């Protein structure tokens, strides 16, 4: 008997579903670790607290719980928006079953919680990855089509230049050649990193420090850089130069947003944070361990009209921007099976990069 109680306890502790037990007054008398994680309530602090203080929904929802204790009927709610004690809004599915307390035999409510945010995020990510792949193929195809005739135009202009009867006319062939070169450079950037990545063991903090150094120089030390590194992150397999490029593009955007903000920001700050995350799904693949890099700035935020298509090439909010920085960062990160996401509003923009640490 005792052995089975321990087994049950262990099982409850390892479930991914949040499990709570409420007494007839809807006060929490038990919660498993998954419920603590979902309701963002650490340790035993939730015990003895009325359920709606941990997870506020609506007056009707509260009445439905009370009704369930009286009537003994179970029910399930899907995709309900819940306000947590820390004011975070989350989306949950939950089932309510009236049961008798195993020891006291008093009526209680068993609540099972399933977080929907993670599921929604996965489907969003899948869409994002598919969309990005389509764009990349489209851009690659187009870039190749532009490059071929461009070589011909440039070559013909050079030949023509030699045949021109007067020096004065050379001005025109020079324009053709220069503009062809400009277009070629643009197309090369559109095609993304051309070299095959030279993967090696890289220390993510070394890369971030290099990026910080470049940002400090470019901004004339006008930006405060905060670091919050997790030193336990193992080295990852990547191309060092490309990783610097990918992270620099993101940090440089933050720097530009911070320095160009109107009205000026009192303390323009860039914050870099690294962590490891266990059991993380990217696209269809679940990874045992991933490195998470967060790049956060306190600038004006990404204009809302850009947010939907931010990673597409040529999407830019700056007069002198080419709109290629983020699309290049993204192709580098995707190449090593990672993903970039962002969240942005006035005063806070966070880019989160997740990189699988497969070898472990
Ligand atoms: N941290 C940020 N804060 C505010 N806006 C941002 C931030 N990061 C990106 N943006 C917006 O996203 C746009 C696209 O960025 P992206 O790096 O792809 O292109 P760009 O910076 O315009 O040009 P390029 O990087 O090619 O010189 C930027 O023009 C800017 O409007
Ligand atoms: Mg940029």
Ligand with minimal distance to 329 CA: 1
Residue located nearest, by CA, to atom 31 of ligand 1: 317
Q: Do 92 and 38 fall within a single domain?
A: yes
Q: How many whole angstroms from 245 Cα to the centroid of ligand 2?
A: 11
Q: Do 206 and 334 fall within a single domain?
A: yes
Q: Which residues surround ligand 2, an ion (CB under 5 A)?
A: 253, 325
Contact 333, 154 (CB under 8 A): no
Q: What is the mean pLDDT of residues 214-232?
A: 95
Which of 115, 148, 176 terminates a domain? The answer is 115
Q: Do 56 and 147 fall within a single domain?
A: no
Q: How many whole angstroms from 280 Cα to the centroid of ligand 1?
A: 28
Of residues 258 and 43, more confidence is placed in 258
Ligand with minimal distance to 330 CA: 1
Which of 68, 94, 115 terminates a domain? The answer is 115
Q: What is the mean pLDDT of residues 185-204?
A: 82
Note the pTM of the prediction, 2 decimals. Answer: 0.66
**What is residue 207's predicted lDDT score, i.e. its pLDDT?**
96
Of residues 63 and 283, more confidence is placed in 63
Q: Do 249 and 342 fall within a single domain?
A: yes
Domain of residue 172 covers 120-191
In CATH, what number is assigned to the domain containing residue 258? Answer: 3.30.565.10
**What is residue 260's predicted lDDT score, i.e. its pLDDT?**
95
Which of 140, 171, 191 terminates a domain? The answer is 191
Q: Do 344 and 222 fall within a single domain?
A: yes
Site to substitute for ligand 1 among 316, 328, 341, 349, most atoms within 8 A of C-beta:
316
- Scored b (16 or more CB within 10 A) or e, 87-116 reads eeebbbbbebebeeeeeeeebbbebbbbbb
Q: Do 206 and 178 fall within a single domain?
A: no
Q: Do 27 and 156 fall within a single domain?
A: no
Q: How many whole angstroms from 284 Cα to the centroid of ligand 1?
A: 29
Q: Do 187 and 40 fall within a single domain?
A: no
Residue located nearest, by CA, to atom 8 of ligand 1: 253
Contact 315, 281 (CB under 8 A): no
Contact 15, 34 (CB under 8 A): yes
Q: What is the mean pLDDT of residues 252-260?
A: 97
Q: Do 184 and 206 fall within a single domain?
A: no
pLDDT at 85 over 70: yes
For residue 262, what are its two tokens? Answer: 């109107």
Q: Do 110 and 124 fall within a single domain?
A: no
CA 253 to ligand 1: nearest atom? 8
Q: Do 231 and 297 fall within a single domain?
A: yes
Instruction: Provide the mean pLDDT of the chain.
Output: 88
- Tell me how many domains the chain contains: 3
pLDDT at 121 over 70: no
Ligand with minimal distance to 328 CA: 1
Q: What is the mean pLDDT of residues 248-269?
A: 96
- For 213, half-sphere exposure in the C-beta direction (CA atoms, 13 angstrom radius) is 7
In CATH, what number is assigned to the domain containing residue 60? Answer: 3.30.450.20
Sort strands 18-23 and 28-31 into parallel, antiparallel or unpaired. antiparallel
Ligand 1 close to Cβ of residue 269 (< 6 A): no
Cα–Cα dist 50/38, whole Å = 16
For 123-173, write each residue's pLDDT tens digit: 667 777 777 778 778 887 888 888 888 999 999 999 999 999 998 899 999
**What is residue 43's predicted lDDT score, i.e. its pLDDT?**
66
**What is residue 360's predicted lDDT score, i.e. its pLDDT?**
44
Q: Do 138 and 24 fall within a single domain?
A: no
């Amino acid at each position: 008997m005792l052995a089975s109680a321990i087994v049950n306890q262990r099982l409850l502790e390892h479930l991914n579903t949040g499990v709570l037990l409420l007494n007839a007054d809807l006060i929490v008398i038990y919660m498993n670790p998954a419920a603590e994680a979902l309701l963002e309530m650490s340790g035993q602090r939730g015990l003895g607290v009325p359920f709606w203080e941990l997870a506020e929904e609506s007056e009707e929802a509260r009445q439905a719980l009370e009704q369930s204790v009286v009537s003994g009927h179970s029910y399930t709610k899907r995709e309900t928006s819940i306000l947590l004690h820390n004011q975070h809004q989350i989306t949950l599915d939950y089932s309510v079953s009236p049961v008798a307390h195993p020891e006291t035999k008093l009526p209680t409510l068993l609540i099972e919680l399933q977080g929907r945010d993670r599921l929604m995020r996965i489907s969003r990510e899948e869409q994002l990855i598919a969309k990005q792949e389509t764009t990349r193929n489209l851009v690659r195809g187009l870039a190749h089509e532009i490059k071929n005739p461009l070589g011909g135009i440039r070559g013909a202009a050079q030949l023509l230049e030699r045949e021109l009867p007067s020096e004065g006319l050379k001005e025109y062939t020079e324009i053709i050649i220069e503009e062809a070169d400009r277009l070629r450079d643009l197309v090369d950037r559109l095609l993304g990193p051309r070299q095959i990545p030279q993967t090696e063991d890289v220390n993510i903090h070394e890369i971030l420090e290099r990026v910080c150094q470049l940002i400090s120089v470019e901004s004339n030390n006008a930006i405060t850089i905060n670091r919050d590194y997790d030193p336990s992150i193992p080295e990852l397999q990547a191309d060092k130069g490309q990783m610097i490029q990918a992270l620099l593009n993101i940090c440089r955007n933050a720097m530009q947003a911070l320095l160009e903000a109107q009205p000026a920001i009192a303390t323009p700050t860039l914050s870099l944070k690294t962590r490891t995350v266990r059991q993380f799904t990217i696209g269809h693949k679940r990874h045992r361990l991933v490195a998470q890099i967060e790049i956060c700035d306190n600038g004006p935020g990404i204009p809302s009209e850009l947010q939907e298509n931010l990673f597409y090439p040529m999407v830019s909010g700056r007069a002198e921007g080419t709109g290629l920085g983020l699309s290049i960062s993204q192709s580098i990160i995707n190449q090593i099976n990672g993903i970039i996401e962002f969240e942005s509003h006035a005063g806070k923009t966070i880019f989160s990069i997740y990189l699988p640490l497969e070898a472990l």
